[in-house]
Amino acid sequence: MFQSSRRQFLATLAASGAAALSHQALFAGTDIGSVLPTEGQQTGNPLPRNQNNTQGHFRPEKRFGVGGVAIGNAFAPTSDEDAQAALAASWEGGARYFDTSPWYGLGLSERRFGWFLHNQKPDDYIISTKIGRLLHAADSPPPDLLWKQPSSFEYEYDYSAEGTRRSIEDSLQRMGISEIDIVFIHDLSPDNEDMKDNWKEYFEVARKGAMPELTKMREEGIIKGWGFGVNRPEPALKATEVADPDIHLLACQYSLIEHEEALNHTFPALAERNISVVVGAPLNSGFLAGRDRYNYSNNIPDGFNEKRQRISRIADEHGVDLRTAALQFCEAHDVVSAVIPGARNASQAEANIKSMTVSIPDGFWEQLKQDGLIAKNAPTPKAAS
C-alpha cells in the first residue's frame, strides 16, 4: 500500500465500509525501510536556513539535516549500499547538516558518514558527533543493544578532558575527515540505563573535564560549538548554569505529539542564553511515520495511538500527511536551529526532504489547536502564499 497514494488508500477503505479502521490499518505493520507517501502542494522552495548569527553562539546554516541512528543499524541492519544512498539523497536534496556518534552501531555510523563526506569539501557541510563513550576492540559487541549487527567493539564511559580529546581524535580517524564542527556530550542523563541516579556523578566529571575542554577547543578554533546530546532536559539545563554551551541536541523532547515541557520550560531557559536546539527524533523514533514504537521503545504511552490517528485524520482532511506535519512543526520554533530525522535508505531521505517543501494550510494547525492536539502557544509554519 505504500506505493499508492495515501488518500486513495483511505478512500478505498471508506468505500468498502472500513473508514473507521482506515488509519489503524494505515499504521499497522509499517515495515522497516518503508515510506508513507508525501501529500500536499509542493512549494519548490529550498530547505530553510538560519539567519546570520550575531549573538556569538554557533548555529548551522541549514535548518534541516540527517541523523545517524538508523545508519548505525538501529532496530534492524542497514546495508552499506542503503546507507550511502540515504546520505547521497540527503545531499542531493540540499541537506548539509549531518549528525552521528561513536555510539551509533559502535562506530559503524561514523564510518558510513565519513565514507560519504570525505568526498565533499569540509566548508560545504556541518558535521556533529559526540563524546562520552570510548570504544575498544573486542571479540564481539555487548549483547542486547539497540544496534543490530554493530561493529565489534566494547565501550566505556569517559567524560574527562583527556577522554574528550581521545574521543574526538578517534572519531576523526573513523570518519577520515579533517574536522568536526559540533561536539555533543552524549547520553549523560538520568534516562541512561547505565547511569540512572548516578548521572550527577558523571556530570561532575564532565563539568571539570569535558565542558572546559570543549570550550577550550572552541576558543582554539578546533570546533565551532558544543553542547549536550540527551533525551531529557535536566542535563542540558544544568550545563547551561555551569558552563557556556552553544547548542544542545535534544531528542524525544519536542515533537508534534509531545512538546509542552520543552515549549514552556526548556526552550525559554535556553533562549535567555541564545542557546539553540537541534531537534533529534522529530518523528519520535518513527512513531509519527507509522512505526509501532515510540522514542526507541516498543512501549507506546497510553492514548498516543489514538492521538496519532486523530492528527492523521485531520491531516488527511487538509491534504497533507502526518510525517510532513511533524517535521515542519519541529522546525517552526525560533530556538530550533536544525531538525534531523533519520533515514536508512534513499526513499526515506527523499521523503523527509520533500516534506519540508510542502505548503501546509493554516487551517490544519488551527484545527489541531482547537481540538487540543497541540499546545495553543506552539509556533507553527505559515502556508506558502
Where do the domains of the chain lie?
Answer: 38-370
Rounded Cα distance, 253 and 339, in Å: 12
pLDDT at 55: 67
The parts of the chain modelled with pLDDT lower than 70 are: 1-31, 52-55, 385
CA 274 to chain centre: 21
Q: Are 193 and 258 in contact (CB under 8 A)?
A: no
Q: Do β-strands 41-42 and 65-67 pair in parallel, antiparallel, or remain unpaired? A: unpaired
Q: What is the pLDDT of residues 92-133, one digit of tens each?
A: 999 999 999 999 999 999 999 999 999 999 999 999 999 999
Q: Are 224 and 182 in contact (CB under 8 A)?
A: yes
Rounded Cα distance, 174 and 107, in Å: 7
pLDDT at 2: 33
CA 262 to chain centre: 15
Rounded Cα distance, 20 and 342, in Å: 31
Residues classed as catalytic: 99, 104, 130
Q: What is the pLDDT of residues 146-155, one digit of tens each?
A: 999 999 999 9
Write 374-377 long-range contacts (CB < 8 A, 24+).
374/256, 374/259, 374/329, 375/259, 375/260, 375/263, 375/264, 377/263, 377/264
DSSP codes joined into one string, 153-169: EEEEE--SHHHHHHHHH
Q: Do β-strands 153-157 and 133-137 pair in parallel, antiparallel, or remain unpaired? A: antiparallel
- Report helix, strand or coil for 339: strand
- Report helix, strand or coil for 215: helix
Rounded Cα distance, 349 and 85, in Å: 9
Instruction: Please indicate, yes or no, whether the overall pTM of this predicted structure exceeds 0.85.
Output: yes
Q: Phi and psi (nearest 5°) for 324? A: -60, -45
Rounded Cα distance, 250 and 227, in Å: 10
Q: Are 87 and 116 in contact (CB under 8 A)?
A: yes
Task: Output the CA torsion sign for 232, 237, 238, 239.
Answer: positive
Other CB atoms within a 10 A radius of the CB of residue 118 amount to 12
CATH number of 38-370: 3.20.20.100
Q: Do β-strands 276-280 and 247-251 pair in parallel, antiparallel, or remain unpaired? A: parallel
- Report helix, strand or coil for 310: helix
Rounded Cα distance, 331 and 256, in Å: 11
Look up residue 266 and give its three cell numbers: 526548556
E-strand stretches of the chain:
41-42, 65-67, 97-99, 126-131, 133-137, 153-157, 182-186, 225-230, 247-251, 276-280, 336-340, 358-359
pLDDT at 34: 82
